[in-house]
Amino acid sequence: MKTYYLHLRAFPCDLCQGPVVTGSTAVRERDIEKETEITEVGAICLSCGHRQSEATAPGRTRDFPPVLWEPPKASTPPVMGHTASAYREMLNREELH
């Protein structure tokens, strides 16, 4: 039986030292086996919104204990319209800078 885990990490933001939170999901086939199918998800600073994927200050990453998570529903079709409009919104915002 497969178990699904969610891992969370936090490290200081390069711009504002606020908490950048990043996560990954992983699958473990059995308790003794190491995790497979690790999927990294996007990192974002909770203070300023800076998207920083890796910690640049060594030794300052906090790892939170993995938690069991329900497996994602693969059969659910992605909501394309919503994703696309959110993406366009993001692009428009970047043009303003």
Residues that bind Zn ion (CB under 5 A): 13, 15-16, 18, 45, 47-48, 50
Residue pair 85/91 in contact by the 8 Å Cβ criterion: no
Give the separation between CA 39 and CA 36, rounded to whole angstroms.
9
Q: Please report how close the Cβ of residue 44 comes to Zn ion at its closest, in angstroms.
A: 9
Tell me which long-range contacts 70-75 makes (C-beta under 8 A, separation of at least 24): 70/4, 71/2, 71/4, 72/4, 72/25
CB nearer Zn ion, residue 10 or residue 13:
13
- Measured from the CB atom, is 15 or 57 closer to Zn ion? 15
Which CB, 8 or 27, lies closer to Zn ion?
Answer: 8
Q: How far is the CB of 25 from Zn ion (least distance, A)?
A: 24
User: Which residue's CB atom is positioned nearest to Zn ion?
Assistant: 13
Determine the Cα–Cα distance for residues 9 and 6; give it in Å rounded to an integer.
Answer: 10
Shortest spacing between CB 22 and Zn ion, in angstroms: 13
